[in-house]
Amino acid sequence: MHRRPHWSYSSISQYLTCPLRYYFQRILCLPQPTVGSGLVLGSAVHAGLAEYHRHLQEGREPDLALVQRAYAEDWARRDDAEIAFKDGETREGLMAQGLALLDLYLNEPPPDRIVAVEQEIIAPVHNSRGEYLEAPLLAVADLIVATDEGLEVREFKTAARAYSESEATGSLQPTCYVNAVQEAFGEPVTVEYTVLIKTKTPKIQRLQADRSPEDLGRLGDIVETIERAVQAKIYYPVENQINCSTCPYRGPCREWGRPKFPQETSLVAALAEA
Higher pLDDT: 40 or 1? It is 40
Q: What local confidence, expressed as pLDDT, does residue 34 receive? A: 87
Q: What local confidence, expressed as pLDDT, does residue 260 receive? A: 64
- Helix/strand/coil percentages in the chain, nearest 5: 45, 20, 35
The DSSP result for 182-237, as a single string, is HHHH-S-EEEEEEEEE-SSS-EEEEEE----HHHHHHHHHHHHHHHHHHHTT----
Mean pLDDT for all residues in the chain: 92
Buried/exposed code over 47-57 (b: 16+ C-beta within 10 A; e: otherwise): bbbbbbbbbbb
The Cα 106–Cα 97 span in angstroms is 14
**Residue 130 pLDDT > 80, yes or no?**
yes
**Residue 274 pLDDT > 60, yes or no?**
no
3-state SS, one letter per residue, for 10-35: HHHHHHHHCHHHHHHHHHCCCCCCCE
The Cα 261–Cα 24 span in angstroms is 9
Give 145-196 pLDDT, tens digit per residue: 999 999 999 999 999 999 999 998 899 999 999 999 999 999 999 999 999 9
Higher pLDDT: 146 or 200? It is 146
Q: What local confidence, expressed as pLDDT, does residue 19 receive? A: 97
The Cα 118–Cα 140 span in angstroms is 6
CATH number of 7-223: 3.90.320.10
Q: What local confidence, expressed as pLDDT, does residue 272 receive? A: 41
Q: How many CB atoms lie within 10 A of CB 42?
A: 20
What is the reported pTM? 0.90
Instruction: Give residue 221's identity as a one-letter amino acid code.
Output: D
Give 23-80 pLDDT, tens digit per residue: 999 999 999 888 999 999 999 999 999 999 999 999 999 999 999 999 999 999 999 8
**Residue 267 pLDDT > 70, yes or no?**
no
Higher pLDDT: 203 or 273? It is 203
The set of long-range contacts for 236-241, using a CB threshold of 8 Å and a minimum separation of 24, is 236/19, 236/20, 236/266, 236/267, 237/18, 237/19, 237/20, 237/21, 238/17, 238/18, 238/19, 238/20
3-state secondary structure of 135: coil
Rounded to an integer, the average pLDDT of 200-229 is 96
3-state secondary structure of 79: coil
Q: What local confidence, expressed as pLDDT, does residue 261 receive? A: 64
pLDDT band (50, 70, 90) for residue 245? confident
**Residue 269 pLDDT > 60, yes or no?**
no
DSSP 81: G
pLDDT band (50, 70, 90) for residue 3? low
Rounded to an integer, the average pLDDT of 204-231 is 97
Q: How far is CA 108 from CA 182, 183, 205, 250, in A?
A: 28, 31, 12, 42
In the chain, what are the domain boundaries? 7-223
The mean-pLDDT minimum among 95-99, 126-130, 267-271 falls in 267-271
